[in-house]
Structure 1
Amino acid sequence: MKFTKSAFTAAALIAAISLQAGAGATHAAGTTTVNQTVSASTAASAKTAHANAVYNHMMSLLKSPSKQAEAVSYMEKNIYQVTPWQGSMMVLKLENAEKAHLDAWNDKFFKDSIQTKLMKLMKSGDDLTALINKTNDKSLKSLFKGARDSGYRIDTSEGMYYLVLDYPRFQKVRSYVSADIKSYIDIMTAETKAPFANDAALSIGWTEVTKRALAQEAFVKSFPHSNRTAQVKSLFNQYLSISMSGLNNTPLFDYDTKKVDAKAKAALQAAVSKGDPTKSGYIKKLQGFLDVLKKNNDTLTPEVDKYRKAASGM
């Protein structure tokens, strides 16, 4: 085949046009990719800046005791916008504030006039919201609302009414915190809904004692460096002591006969049968305790007492 000069010129021109078009297309594609990357980076920066702003505002609210109720409400409405670490810190800082101001709030409730009104007003199962709805006393309504909105709930013991931290309320924000604080909220929620003791007597069943002790032990093992490991470990030590001694008004051993409580022993045996002493120090100690009990005919002897004191650190 023979090429003419004009044909060669035409072919070259077409090739040049094709190359220019290709370069333009490549440039356009590259520009789109860069723009998308920049847009994603800008969006991420904006999201981070917003999360920081939410977190910082929460911290500023917590600096003022008078804004504690506002801080509770703000956290519940905005915690979804921050990182799990920031959400965890918001929860823990709020808990610290609630603990710090609890005595001041209880001083208001411990006034004779307030206690007298509560005795007439409060029925079993009532919470602060129920009390708000039951009274026409504006000052009393304001007191109850202020306590509730600041993160407290009402409880009673030995004929006195007082406030405690409303840990079940933290369940509202549980999804936005780290794994250890999720578990901590669950542990403290159980303690708040059904405290283990009332009037120096055990107010939960022996099976529940072993269940909670195992949950607390698991927390300490899973999260040795958590911000709340020390608190949970302290709680666990109380449960370990209860498991081998009971409480003053619910003793593990009868004060007269020195015999072990049958229901308590059965609960300990059930926990040991289901547990693994190679993985749980609590189960291992219970197993040893039951062994020494059996050896001593289920009676509190000096040998049994020595074991439980050594095992529980009494």
Structure 2
Amino acid sequence: MKSSKSAVTAAALIAAISLQAGAGAIHAAGTTAAPKVVSASSAASAKTAHQNAVYNHMMSLLKSPTKQAEAVSYMEKNIYQVSPWQGSMMVLKLENAEKANLDAWNNKFFKDSIQSKLMKLMKSGDDLTSLINKTSDKNLKALFKGARDSGYTLQTSEGSFYLVLDYPRFQKIRSYVSADIKSYIDIMTTETKAPFANDGALSIGWTEVTKRALSQEAFVKSFPHSNRTAQVKSLYTMYLSISMSGLNNTPLFDYDTKKADAKAKAALQAAVSKGDPSKSAYLKKLKGFLDVLEKNNDVLTPEVDKYRKAASGM
């Protein structure tokens, strides 16, 4: 009984020390206080205790919006110390917090004075870090730094500057999460680096539209029970609709002639010919769409419209 008690006490001590002082403290504690022979079960208990301590500290930080930046930094420095499940939950809980606090952060950026300063300051290729270095305004520096450190990145559309979640930043820690969350991070990183639309127009090519839709479909098929399946499925539904309709300022069919855009049609045809419609619901729907389009001489007729609405759920 004494031996068992000592092992548990040692495990708890190691976990507490390592959380406060890092790996060096673990080594020091191990060389000066730990017994020379440590059983496998004791070592496993110590590891589990440490993982739980790291995870629980991250969760405590996320309870307060004012500690979001600290939570981002803490996760990036310590996620390697927890299990893949805990790492995944740390990422998802942080994402939830960043989403919950996004409006409050954007309200700071939407002030006319800030928008005006950004208009003069920001150039193509700039990010929050470069803006911090470019401005001498201490308040502006603090605002930019706070947003960056809290996990956001700056984008612009229709003449306005606004924040979005910095998913590319999650690439730093993707190796410490489960397979589905790795894939989710990759999908959202793509969306952040190259948003599909700007000013109501498609800002990526039609081939990229089909590529992203296939990637999203593959995620839903591979991870039907993932914590983020619903989000990716929603994204996929949007891309399916874009594939058959386009956007307001990049319509698939000309508003006057009702004729299908030749480049768009070619991209859809290429996706179908390169893939296997029997194994992809997306490609199967595209093939059916192309067939009915061909039958109607590439014109948006009631028959074509009926098919695309049924296929995309519009």
Give the alignment's TM-score, normalised by structure 2: 0.88
Q: Deviations over 1:126-172 (max 9, x none)?
A: 00000000000000000000000000000000100000000000000
Are 1:232 and 2:232 an aligned pair? yes
CA distance in 2, matches of 1:184, 1:252: 28
Partner of 2:171: 171
TM-aligned CA deviation for residue 36 of structure 1: 10
CA distance in 1, matches of 2:293, 2:215: 25
CA distance in 2, matches of 1:103, 1:73: 21
Are 1:103 and 2:138 an aligned pair? no
Q: Deviations over 1:93-149 (max 9, x none)?
A: 000000000000000000111011000100011000000000000000000000000
CA distance in 1, matches of 2:162, 2:64: 23
What SS does the corresponding residue of 1:50 show, helix, strand or coil?
helix
Greater C-alpha radius of gyration: 1
Alignment of 1:52-63 (within 5 A): 52-63=52-63
Partner of 1:223: 223
Partner of 1:48: 48
Q: CA RMSD in A?
A: 1.2
CA distance in 2, matches of 1:216, 1:36: 52
Q: Percent identity?
A: 88
What SS does the corresponding residue of 2:220 show, helix, strand or coil?
helix
Partner of 1:256: 256
Q: Deviations over 1:180-236 (max 9, x none)?
A: 000000000000000101111000000000000000000000000000000000000
Q: How many pairs were matched up? A: 280
What SS does the corresponding residue of 1:155 show, helix, strand or coil?
strand
Structure 1 pair 240–36 and aligned structure 2 pair: CA distance change class (3 A): farther
CA distance in 2, matches of 1:266, 1:277: 16
Partner of 1:146: 146
Give the alignment's TM-score, normalised by structure 1: 0.88
Partner of 1:287: 287
CA distance in 2, matches of 1:77, 1:193: 24
TM-aligned CA deviation for residue 38 of structure 1: 5.7
CA distance in 2, matches of 1:49, 1:117: 49
AA paired with 2:132? I
TM-aligned CA deviation for residue 37 of structure 1: 9.4
Partner of 1:65: 65
AA paired with 1:152? Y
CA distance in 1, matches of 2:105, 2:156: 15
What SS does the corresponding residue of 1:154 show, helix, strand or coil?
strand
CA distance in 2, matches of 1:36, 1:226: 43
CA distance in 1, matches of 2:279, 2:182: 23
TM-aligned CA deviation for residue 277 of structure 1: 1.1
CA distance in 1, matches of 2:55, 2:222: 27
TM-aligned CA deviation for residue 40 of structure 1: 1.3
Structure 1 pair 283–37 and aligned structure 2 pair: CA distance change class (3 A): farther
Partner of 1:162: 162
Moved over 6 A (4+): none
Unpaired stretches in structure 2, ≥5 consecutive residues: 1-34
Q: Deviations over 1:249-275 (max 9, x none)?
A: 000001111110000000000000011
